[in-house]
Amino acid sequence: MTDWTREMEEEAIAWLIRQRDPSFDDWETFEAWLAADAAHARAYAETAAADRDLDELLSGVSWPAEAEPDFDEPVVPSRRRWLGGALAASVALAVAAGSWLAWPSRDLYSVQTAAGERRTVVLADTKLELNGETRIELDRKDQRFARMEQGQALFTVRHDPAHPFRLETADATLVDAGTTFEVTTGGGALDLAVSEGMVVVDPGKAGIDVPAGQRFTLAKGQRTGRLSAVRPADVGAWRSGQLFYDGAPLSRVAADLQRNLGVPVSVNDAAATRPFRGVVRLDGGVEPTMARLGVLLGAPVRRSGKGWVIAGP
Partner 1 sequence: MDDVPPSGLQAVILANREKLLRFLVSRGAGDAAEDVLQDLYVRVATADAGPVAQPLSYLYRAANNLTVDRFRSRRQTERREQDWSDAAGPTEPDRSDDPPPDRSLVARETLAGVQAVLDGLGVRTATIFRRHRIDGVQQRDIARELGVSLSTVEADLRRAYRALLDYRRSIDEV
**Using the rule CB under 8 A, is 57 a contact of partner 1?**
yes
Measured from the CB atom, the residue of 107 and 160 that comes closer to partner 1 is 107
Find the part of the chain contacting partner 1 (CB under 8 A) among 42-50, 155-163, 247-255, 272-280.
42-50
248 and 227 in contact (C-beta within 8 Å)? no
Q: Between residue 95 and residue 154, which ones bind partner 1 under the rule CB under 8 A?
A: 95, 98, 100-107, 109, 140
Interface with partner 1 includes 10 (CB under 8 A)? yes
Select the residue interacting with partner 1 from 5, 53, 270, 279 (CB under 8 A). 53
- How many residues form the binding site for partner 1 (CB under 8 A)? 58
Strands (E), 14-157: 92-95, 108-113, 119-123, 126-130, 134-139, 142-157
Nearer to partner 1 by C-beta: 140 or 220?
140
- Minimum separation from the CB atom of position 109 to partner 1 (A): 7
Instruction: Choose among 105, 2, 98: nearest CA to 56.
Output: 98
123 vs 140: CA distance, rounded Å: 10
16 vs 219, beta carbon nearer partner 1: 16
Alpha helices in the chain (DSSP H): 6-19, 27-36, 38-58, 250-261, 286-297
Give CA–CA dist 30/9, Å, rounded.
14
- Ranges within 18-37 binding partner 1 (CB under 8 A): 19-25, 27, 31, 34-35
Contact between 49 and partner 1 by CB under 8 A: the answer reads: yes
CA atoms within 13 A of residue 77's CA, in its CB half-sphere: 6
| CA dist., res. 61 & res. 184, Å (int) | 27
Instruction: Please report, as ranges, the residues that interact with partner 1 according to CB under 8 A.
Output: 9-10, 13-14, 16-17, 19-25, 27, 31, 34-35, 38, 41-42, 44-45, 47-54, 57-58, 60-67, 71, 73, 93-95, 98, 100-107, 109, 140, 168, 173
